[in-house]
Structure 1
């Protein structure tokens, strides 16, 4: 099961709560978790409203009047002492920790000394714990979040007038895709940003999926010309065809590395996230024999792979070329060879099998176990694999 959050109208805790309820998470699941943490009474309720003509679920958080000021240290104790699902507690701790760190950075003080305007409030406890409990209830394997709309203009708070996004939101969304607009208001709150970045497995457009449930959570405002709604789509992945992937080929020529190190270099680059890595023998200037090291990697992982390349080799520079990787849909099957399991990779185009290949490591393991030549075991594995396509 996977989910996609459409944050094209920004995000807040109550919008995420409404989207979860609209997608089928019972209000009681959220309310019981919130009450387990809250030191004072909190009640959740939901109703259907419209935002710019579109129906959505509005989640109301009702709290008692409280003048208690709470820090991240106080909330950490509340979470630790609560009778809360382990997964929900872990999500909530991560979210509050990110939020506290962002506020500390924005104000230039230690994390545990931050007195939050939002985090310490009961409604923020409800937002964070409720959303984390709802996501844990859904047990999603993947949660993709769209680029986040943050709004524009200025807002006025306890620290005076500041630009949108405010410092804490900008800090929280560091490294995540975001953009200004679509209306001149604050569209993404610190709590909303913290919840998104703490629970997203990735950011991007809606993945290929068969949608089963849709929840739309309404924000408190109803600005003209913009549906103030956050959507949550839940469903199953639609096939396993890898999308066309924007990638880089990183290359460097090396003539002074001990050749015995190359297997380790290749292995370390693959471990760091490279899709593939290979060597090409070349002859450099002055007639020196050398190798071109080529590494294929997605743009997202290029930085860490580049760092590993410099760490493991003697090169002092690389060149990079943008490419697009097209991959066929793949399936993994299992065949029996001499009573042993061998995994087989099938590549499909338009649902027709075009390539069948046994996993060589499995073949080698069977050969070792049966004391047979690898070439004979491979021939048997290929024959068994081809039977899968008949």
Structure 2
């Protein structure tokens, strides 16, 4: 599983996190395309190298190309809903903005639908939020976590006058999370805090991972003696015991032809698994229970996707613990082709070794053979290669979520 950990010990802002993800290897054009899908021709993203307290970092300049109106949460939600985006990017962005809107609504005493993003700036916050969600998707991050967030200290001038730090919206968003002052001034913005709390589980210490890359994103100011940066550590790894959320909804009025696309969209939104259970509801009506299992940090986007894609008015949730085998991929030669074998192992010993079905099915069509024959041949080749239960884990196993 590819995972990323956010070091926000010097603060957090949306553009800083976006810069860190680009610095870690996210594709700039993929990010630009996602932002343009939501607000075409409204902003320009320009990364460049800077130094902060003597350390190299990437800074992203988010520039307006036109005059922008202040938008409500309802208007931003409609823009994201109508945009052509990967489902996971859409679900993540909606979850972040919904969290931000609820915090602003509570602070200002208005309804969520009437929240105007004038203080955080609608166009630049859209670029930051959608850009970060697109960067995470491009990097293939399946598990995002974050350490304590530095929020700053003192007072700051805003459109509402002089306010204490952390400003009310940041304090509302940070409820239940570990924070620290970390320095003078405003170090955490509402957009940055919304991204962290909506998408990342709290993990005070760096989780175990095989480190692949480090990204450093710079804030706008160069503070002497304190690097004004957000770091992202990107790697692979899997903890055996995972805290997860099981989301369920009973639905009796959805066109059954839609269900395959709903399940696929929930997986793309970040669910570890999604399935249907046939049930009989009141008055003898046939129905389904929609179930989705997600890591705690992915619950918000998956929940948002359920409400957006189905007719349900409510979602039941309960915490569960999932014990997962460590896993990786190996390849075997079958009928002149290389087929991936998914290997699950524990304490250095293989527990499961299974051919990837879709690859086997494609090879079966190509060779005009039954799929079962190709699967049997792949299992035989795996056993010959000592990829079988009880065998030691081979050193060439690939630590990746994808066989390709």
TM-score normalized by the length of structure 1: 0.62
Matched-pair contact (CA < 8 Å) for 2:14–2:195: yes
What is the match of residue 196 of structure 2?
A: 196
Q: In 2 relative to 1, CA 34–165 (structure 1 residues): closer, same or farther, beyond 3 Å? A: same
Matched-pair contact (CA < 8 Å) for 1:143–1:202: no
User: How far did residue 186 of structure 1 move?
Assistant: 0.4
User: How far did residue 112 of structure 1 move?
Assistant: 1.1
Matched-pair contact (CA < 8 Å) for 2:8–2:148: yes
Distance 1:72 1:331 in 2: 41
Structure 2 unaligned regions, length at least 5: 243-295, 297-323, 328-343, 352-387, 393-404
User: How far did residue 242 of structure 1 move?
Assistant: 7.1
Q: In 2 relative to 1, CA 240–145 (structure 1 residues): closer, same or farther, beyond 3 Å? A: closer
**What pairs up with 1:1-390 in 2 under 5 angstroms?**
1-38=2-39, 40-181=41-182, 183-237=183-237, 348=347
Q: Name the SS of the counterpart of 2:186 in structure 1.
A: coil
CA deviation string 1:154-201 (max 9, x = no partner): 1011111111100100111111111112x2110000000001111113
User: How far did residue 202 of structure 1 move?
Assistant: 3.5
CA deviation string 1:202-239 (max 9, x = no partner): 432101111111110000011121100101111112x7
User: How far did residue 118 of structure 1 move?
Assistant: 3.9
TM-score normalized by the length of structure 2: 0.60
Q: In 2 relative to 1, CA 135–14 (structure 1 residues): closer, same or farther, beyond 3 Å? A: same
User: How far did residue 67 of structure 1 move?
Assistant: 4.6
Distance 2:226 2:326 in 1: 43
Aligned residues: 264
Runs of 4 or more consecutive aligned structure 1 residues displaced over 3 Å after TM superposition: 239-243, 329-332, 385-389
User: How far did residue 20 of structure 1 move?
Assistant: 0.8
Q: Name the SS of the counterpart of 1:170 in structure 2.
A: helix
User: How far did residue 139 of structure 1 move?
Assistant: 2.1
Distance 1:240 1:90 in 2: 25
User: How far did residue 119 of structure 1 move?
Assistant: 4.7
Q: Name the SS of the counterpart of 2:125 in structure 1.
A: helix
Distance 1:24 1:345 in 2: 30
C-alpha RMSD over aligned residues: 3.1
Distance 1:345 1:115 in 2: 51
Matched-pair contact (CA < 8 Å) for 1:72–1:120: no
Matched-pair contact (CA < 8 Å) for 1:146–1:206: yes
Matched-pair contact (CA < 8 Å) for 1:7–1:230: yes
Q: In 2 relative to 1, CA 150–54 (structure 1 residues): closer, same or farther, beyond 3 Å? A: same
Distance 2:120 2:40 in 1: 14
User: How far did residue 138 of structure 1 move?
Assistant: 1.7
Q: Which structure is larger by alpha-carbon Rg, 1 or 2?
A: 1
